[in-house]
Structure 1
Amino acid sequence: MVSRSGPGYAHHLSRFAQTLGLAGVLVACLTVFGLGGGQAAQTGVTAVASAACGPVQYEGSARAQALIVSDLPLRGASSKRSQQMNDAIRLVLRAAGWRAGKRRVAFQPCDDSDPATGLWSKSICQANATAYAADPSVLGVVGTYNSGCAEVIIPLLGDAPGGGVAMVSPGNTLVCLTQPSPECNGGEPSSLYPRRHNYARVVPNDAYQGAGLAVFAKQRGLRRMYVLYAGGDPTSLGQARTFRGAARKLHVKIVGFSAWDVSASSYVALMRRVARTSPNGVLLAGLTEENGALLIKHKVAVLGRNKGKVKLLAPDGFAQQSTIDLAGSAARGMFTSVPGRVPQNLSGPGRRLVSELRKVAGGTVELYAPYAGQAAEVLLDAIARGGSRASVIAAMLKTRIRDGITGSFSILPSGDPSVGPITVSVARKSFVPVRELHPGAGLVRAARHG
């Protein structure tokens, strides 16, 4: 079994913090892709041959022997979050001395977003996965953030030479990546793993999030909910369905269930239609990047402030600072859920990593940054235990974490973490946590079946 002892990581991070000195030293080392910019020729590994990838980064004293890459959207509204996720990966590598056991490991950040839209792109995800699979230096991928991109990448990495490439996600929440559900229309999850299961995640899936949000809605006295989801986005539809399934079990009435057009220039008519159902709560399942800011503004314009009679709830696609920045005062008072614990609630190694990230970021630490650090830890442990690509995958799927960055958990055979806390926050100048929920197994099952 792979294990990570909290004190061991804490020792590395504490030593790193002492070595680091002033935060400005670290900030001065940042490039557009983060710390440093090691050259592949100096590291001893082969850089992934893709224009979507930045330079190989490595600060070890001898030539690197393996490479891990990140696959995240580095443009658009998600750019700040993704940059912090890469910062967390580098901090974890530095704390570990750029080693996984006896093996020296380098890092290369890659971008899966479309330059024109800032959203993940199927063609870029395919191209990235093909490049990772073809590079024998790559033993693991930290990513993706977007579940749709993961659906593209997982089978391509599973078919990679050498027994496949391990992939650990710090942000995917789509149920179908790991478990069957009525929303899985393409034979998922089995169809994603035609040769081998090569995927794990360190965040709870959307069934936990839907269940947690439904519990929160009932606790707030919201008995009539209207559910909106981003049209054309299967992940958003999945999140909407998980909330609906859990809400029904809790006897919260769903008074409407419909899509919003992500390219619309106005949502006033949509919100008037919502108003006619007399809800006391609206759920938005989607992404800020899917015209979410305008949607929030027009909800407030038609249905009133979020602190008023009609509350506004949303899962993690809206739980980022860009939502508040783009929607302005209209976002104030809305509630968002996130899978796992928010940075403010982490303890031990997680709290220390958040402290270092705050120095790098110069402000608020985004939710998924510590989870990216945890995903990197899982990969480093797996690489330390395994030699080949296939053995790294096998070790990853036997992971057991004790007192890690995000707490204690194991990776289940499905690839899911064994624990599923959900945190709900309220939008003020930033998102402030108000409650941590632990939905029961029965309610999670109801959410999964939509």
Structure 2
Amino acid sequence: MRHRSAVVVSIAVIGALSLSACGSRGEKKNADSGSGNGGSASTVVIGVDAPLTGDLSALGLGIRNSVDLAVKKANETNEVPGVKFEIKALDDTGKPAPGQQNATQLVGDPKVLGVVGPLNSSVAQSMQQIFDDANLVEVSPANTGVALSQGEKWASGEKKRPFKSYFRTATTDAIQGPFAAQYLYNDAKKTKVFLIDDQKTYGAGLAATFKSEFTKLGGTLAGEEHVNPDDRDFSAIVTKVKNSGADAVYYGGEYPAAGPLSLQLKDAGATIPLMGGDGIQSADFIKLNPKSQGDFATAVGLPVESLDTAKKYIADYKAAGYKDAYETYGGYSYDSAWSIIEAVKNVVKDNGGKLPTGDALRKTVRDAVQKVTFDGVTGKVSFDEFGDTTNKQLTVYTVKDGKWAVEKSGTFNG
């Protein structure tokens, strides 16, 4: 989810990471007990950047809580002997400027060896250079903007990874947009679509990939409009949609605007479905739009609730007592955090059972994330040469009886 600014921020991290670890891998101990020979556990911090307040906080809180759960489980099971994990969660409110400030703050904390987030692709653009300059790995559970990992010229076939420190467990809009187009045209039998986007990195990019595939299939566009993500009065666009003869609306953007847009369409008598991407596949979309029955959304991966691999995660999340739902990206956030934990574990193992010290530690962890492969909450977790997930599955949902229900899962047939 959710080109990059020309501002390049270089961060110099002063001082070595004075982390020490010792202990045997041969027996389980509480992580707080340290090495068993009198030493104390090293502290490794996993940063979290997400919208913890504001319109998108429902998604952001699910991200934060899932990382917190992963850290708790790693400590409970002593996943990395001699290492105690903690989280440092910062609020970007879904905007690039706070995200950039958060990236600087996380880089400045020498105990931070990896970051989960952000939610929004536009926020990621403001952070990537900062993290990369410091060799600090970030793993997003939600970004789908293709250029983040494959470069600005990816659509022309010239793919080049801009930052070695950037990874994601969510698949990209190069797949999500076309997958939605195929469903809407082939399955839902909608042939004339009105295309709307919010002009943000995520929304505009998603709409563009949808448009390309939809028209290739033979569909036509009844019209195209752009809105501001903070808009809530869509009366002018609603009139255009009604007069266009469209049999569906495709919206590139997020639920705070998509919900009111869909509601105003229905209230005006345009009883056609609105479809969007993972940015609208939230329970809050339905709360904002009591007439959302029949609307569609795609989301990355398979529905977590249907996966045997996610049963323990769901039970543990409930048992932990979080007041916020794990939402769309919960399982991917857990897996993002675990990829960092797994990388730290492999680094410790390769260093004779101790966490290395020195300025090269972050780079070592970054390189270790590239090589991780494990069975996660969302299935097999591993990364390709661009830092993208190797899991290319997607799901179409529709609103039925006040809830998102699965319509179809699969992969894009390109």
How far apart are 1:368 and its partner, in Å? 0.6
Q: How big is each residue's C-alpha offset from its partner over 1:57-113, in whole Å with a ceiling of 9 and x where there is no partner?
A: x97334443211111110123223322222222222222226553341332232333
C-alpha contact 1:226 1:257 (8 A) present in aligned 2: yes
2:59 is aligned, of 78, 81, 90, to: 81
C-alpha contact 1:183 1:238 (8 A) present in aligned 2: no
SS in structure 1 opposite 2:291? helix
Q: 1:358 to 1:222 in 2, by over 3 A?
A: farther
Matched, 1:293 2:266: no
What percentage of residue pairs aligned between the two structures are identical?
22
Q: Give the distance between the partners of 2:65 and 2:31, measured in 1 at CA.
A: 14
Q: Which blocks of at least 5 consecutive residues in structure 1 are unaligned?
A: 1-43, 46-57, 114-118, 444-450
Paired residue for 1:345? 306
Q: 1:419 to 1:135 in 2, by over 3 A?
A: same
Q: Give the distance between the partners of 1:156 and 1:180, measured in 2 at CA.
A: 17
Spell out the pairing of 1:223-238 with structure 2 (5 A cutoff). Answer: 223-231=191-199, 233-238=200-205
Matched, 1:121 2:89: no
Q: Give the distance between the partners of 1:84 and 1:238, measured in 2 at CA.
A: 24
1:173 is aligned, of 144, 169, 187, to: 144
2:270 is aligned, of 304, 317, 320, to: 304
Deviates most, 119-128 or 366-375: 119-128
C-alpha contact 1:271 1:303 (8 A) present in aligned 2: no
- Alignment size in residue pairs: 364
How far apart are 1:235 and its partner, in Å? 1.8
Q: How big is each residue's C-alpha offset from its partner over 1:15-74, in whole Å with a ceiling of 9 and x where there is no partner?
A: xxxxxxxxxxxxxxxxxxxxxxxxxxxxx98xxxxxxxxxxxx97334443211111110
TM-score normalised over the length of structure 1: 0.75
SS in structure 2 opposite 1:131? helix
Q: Give the distance between the partners of 2:258 and 2:238, measured in 1 at CA.
A: 13
How far apart are 1:340 and its partner, in Å? 1.1
For residue 266 of structure 1, what is the amino acid of its counterpart? D
Q: Give the distance between the partners of 2:382 and 2:144, measured in 1 at CA.
A: 17
1:60 is aligned, of 26, 32, 35, to: 32
How far apart are 1:298 and its partner, in Å? 1.3
How far apart are 1:184 and its partner, in Å? 8.2
Q: How big is each residue's C-alpha offset from its partner over 1:405-441, in whole Å with a ceiling of 9 and x where there is no partner?
A: 111242001011112111111124221222112112x
C-alpha contact 1:371 1:406 (8 A) present in aligned 2: yes
TM-score normalised over the length of structure 2: 0.81
Paired residue for 2:13? none
Q: 1:109 to 1:252 in 2, by over 3 A?
A: farther
Deviates most, 218-227 or 175-184: 175-184
Q: Give the distance between the partners of 1:277 and 1:181, measured in 2 at CA.
A: 33
How far apart are 1:171 and its partner, in Å? 0.8
Matched, 1:207 2:174: yes
C-alpha contact 2:64 2:89 (8 A) present in aligned 1: no
Q: Give the distance between the partners of 2:228 and 2:99, measured in 1 at CA.
A: 24
C-alpha contact 1:177 1:189 (8 A) present in aligned 2: no
1:262 is aligned, of 229, 232, 238, to: 229
Q: Give the distance between the partners of 1:400 and 1:204, measured in 2 at CA.
A: 16
SS in structure 1 opposite 2:119? coil
Q: Give the distance between the partners of 1:380 and 1:265, measured in 2 at CA.
A: 41
2:296 is aligned, of 335, 338, 344, to: 335
Q: How big is each residue's C-alpha offset from its partner over 1:342-387, in whole Å with a ceiling of 9 and x where there is no partner?
A: 2212222x12101222343468541211111000111101111224
Q: Give the distance between the partners of 2:155 and 2:129, measured in 1 at CA.
A: 16
Paired residue for 2:15? none
Q: 1:66 to 1:299 in 2, by over 3 A?
A: same
C-alpha contact 2:61 2:324 (8 A) present in aligned 1: no
C-alpha contact 1:343 1:365 (8 A) present in aligned 2: no
Matched, 1:221 2:189: yes
Q: Give the distance between the partners of 2:54 and 2:43, measured in 1 at CA.
A: 33
Q: 1:59 to 1:425 in 2, by over 3 A?
A: farther
How far apart are 1:288 and its partner, in Å? 1.9
Paired residue for 2:115? 141
Deviates most, 245-254 or 145-154: 245-254
How far apart are 1:249 and its partner, in Å? 2.5
For residue 299 of structure 1, what is the amino acid of its counterpart? L
SS in structure 2 opposite 1:215? helix
Paired residue for 2:284? 322
Q: Give the distance between the partners of 2:155 and 2:178, measured in 1 at CA.
A: 18
Matched, 1:382 2:343: yes
Q: How big is each residue's C-alpha offset from its partner over 1:197-222, in whole Å with a ceiling of 9 and x where there is no partner?
A: 11110110111111211121021101
Q: Which blocks of at least 5 consecutive residues in structure 2 are unaligned?
A: 1-17, 20-29, 35-40, 348-355
For residue 283 of structure 2, what is the amino acid of its counterpart? Q
How far apart are 1:239 and its partner, in Å? 0.6
For residue 275 of structure 2, what is the amino acid of its counterpart? L
Deviates most, 251-260 or 141-150: 251-260
For residue 61 of structure 1, what is the amino acid of its counterpart? S
For residue 126 of structure 1, what is the amino acid of its counterpart? Q
Q: Give the distance between the partners of 1:199 and 1:297, measured in 2 at CA.
A: 37
Q: 1:147 to 1:100 in 2, by over 3 A?
A: farther
Q: Give the distance between the partners of 1:59 and 1:313, measured in 2 at CA.
A: 46
1:411 is aligned, of 372, 376, 383, to: 383
Q: How big is each residue's C-alpha offset from its partner over 1:213-240, in whole Å with a ceiling of 9 and x where there is no partner?
A: 1121021101111110013x12210010
SS in structure 2 opposite 1:97? helix
Q: 1:159 to 1:89 in 2, by over 3 A?
A: same
Q: Give the distance between the partners of 2:75 and 2:408, measured in 1 at CA.
A: 36
Q: CA RMSD in A?
A: 2.5
C-alpha contact 1:358 1:365 (8 A) present in aligned 2: no
How far apart are 1:189 and its partner, in Å? 6.1
